[in-house]
Amino acid sequence: MRIALTSPFCWPQRRRGSERLLHDLSHWLAGRGHDVTVIATAPGERRVEADGAVRRILLPQRGPLGLELRALNFFHRFAFQVEAEIAADPPDAVLSLNYHDAWGVLRARRRGARTRLVYQAVGIPMRRYFRRIPLDGWMFRRVLRGAEDVLTISRFARGLLAAEFGRDSRLLHAPTDLAPLLAAPKPPPGGAPRLLFAADLNEPRKGALLLARAFARVAAARPGTRLDYSGHADATVQAAIRAAVPPHLIPAIAFHGVGAVGDLPALYASASVFVLPAIWEAQGMVLVEALAAGTPVVACDHGGVGDIVDDPAIGRLFAPGPIRDHAATDDAALAEAILAAADLAARPGTEAACRARAAAFGLDRLGPAYEACLAGEGGTADGHIRPS
């Protein structure tokens, strides 16, 4: 098949779950012998480049008419850019990870492109998101009606799409290339716990500040505990995190920045516990990555993370408490979950259990289901996709 995958941003320019999905799945499909093109954006002018066996079309990354407004912005321009690319050279099937570019594919079909559209909602679909941007709400609904298939990546997201928009979808978790993580050697357990957070610290819902408060509680119970932050963190956020702990604990906190992609497996493996206290996670691919490195996890019992953390042998979920300022608030519950996971990390068999759970989200398991969906095959009566 000739397949296109579209998304406004690509890996490693952006290191979120959707960009990781775009990268890993495109290479897996190319390895299966398909002719694969990624359509995304990058600074500068339009260019076409080879990313291994994957062809990448990178379009200019700027808003329409030089504007960047909520109602008229970069994403709307990207929709028309995708329309032009698909209309000029229609593939057999397109997987769009954003409703703007999916809408652009629908417009290309009106111009004669005969291509199958699969739209994957990589976030959590809610009507209230569109209250201030009715144009986007209209685009989103057009995509839900026009796409041959709509995919969601967790039971939580699937339920909300049905409840909020009356649209059933196929549940297909986001896959990850787990090979480098599964191969990462895990140091033997022992000593004080080492906690790891890997996400955008500047985004309040991710819970970086909440983790700092919980860390103070954990360190009081387990002296010598360390906390590593990996991800974007501006100076204001770093200062707030340091201010949230007693002064003697500040040296135990390290900010690693974004770092290199190749450093991630060792970083995950070096941790005793991986902590993601985020709310509104559609799935939480970083949890899969940590598990693949043999590290037990702690996550907030909110959104789609329960599809991953479904066994007390691999980690703990904690209740968010009252949600304020777009973040969970119960640092005591988080600290309790971290301490339980730290005990788990010291048990024989935990590393193997974590890696085994992560394997369910590998490309070797989920890739064939995406391939079948793009070909118009593989659906089940309840809307799920049956992995091979």
| Nearest residue to 54 (alpha-carbon basis) of 116, 114, 5 | 5
The conformation of residue 23, written as its DSSP 8-state character, comes to H
Please compute the mean of the pLDDT values over residues 368-375 and round it to a whole number: 97
Residue 81: how many CA atoms within 13 Å on its side-chain side?
25
Do 207 and 351 reside in the same domain of the chain?
yes
Q: Is the dihedral of CA 63, 68, 73, 75 positive or negative?
A: positive
CA distances from 296 to 82, 182, 244, 260, 278 (A): 40, 14, 25, 23, 16
Question: How confident is the model over 236-272, as pLDDT tens digits?
Answer: 999 999 999 999 999 999 999 988 878 899 999 999 9
Q: What pTM value is reported for the model?
A: 0.92
Work out the mean pLDDT of the chain and round it to a whole number: 93
Residue with tokens 């509104």: 280
Residue 213 has pLDDT above 70, yes or no: yes
Q: What percent of the chain has pLDDT over 90?
A: 87
Q: Are residues 116 and 246 in the same domain?
A: no
Residue 207 lies in a domain: yes
Res 68: pLDDT: 64
Residues 256, 168 share a domain: no
Q: Are residues 246 and 367 in the same domain?
A: no
Structure tokens at 149: 């298939």
Total domain count, the chain: 2
CATH at residue 200: 3.40.50.2000
Q: 379 in a domain, yes or no?
A: no
Nearest Cα residue to 277 out of 299, 304, 297: 299
Asked whether the beta carbons of 205 and 280 are under 8 A apart, the reply is yes
- The DSSP 8-state label assigned to residue 57 in this structure reads E
Examine the domain organization and report whether 354 and 369 are in the same domain.
Answer: no
State residue 258's pLDDT score. 87
Return the sign of the alpha-carbon dihedral for residues 275, 280, 286, 291.
positive
Residues 199, 263 within the same domain:
yes
- The H or E element that residue 43 is part of is none
- Considering the domain architecture, whether residues 130 and 202 belong to the same structural domain is answered as no
Do 117 and 220 lie in one domain? The reply is: no
| In contact, 298 and 335? CB cutoff 8 Å | no
In whole angstroms, how large is the CA radius of gyration of the chain? Answer: 21
Given this model, what pLDDT does residue 112 score? 96
Per the CB < 8 A criterion, the answer to whether 210 and 178 are in contact is no
Point out the least confidently predicted range of 58-62, 307-311, 344-348. Answer: 58-62
Question: Averaged over 306-322, what is the pLDDT?
Answer: 97
Contact in structure between 283 and 152 (CB atoms under 8 Å): no
How many Cα atoms are found within 13 Å in the side-chain-facing hemisphere of 182?
15
The reply to whether 146 and 217 lie within a common domain is no
Which structural domain range is residue 215 located in? Answer: 179-359
Let me know if 266 is exposed, middle or buried by CB neighbors in 10 A (0-12, 13-18, 19+). middle
Rounded Cα–Cα distance for residues 372 and 299 (Å) = 32
388 falls within a domain: no
CA distance 61 to 44: 7
For residues 44 and 16, the model is more confident at 44
**Two tokens, residue 51:** 């990313």
Number of Cβ within a 10 Å radius of residue 276: 24
Mean pLDDT confidence for 196-209: 96
Does the pLDDT of residue 386 top 80, yes or no? no
Residue 314 DSSP SS3: coil
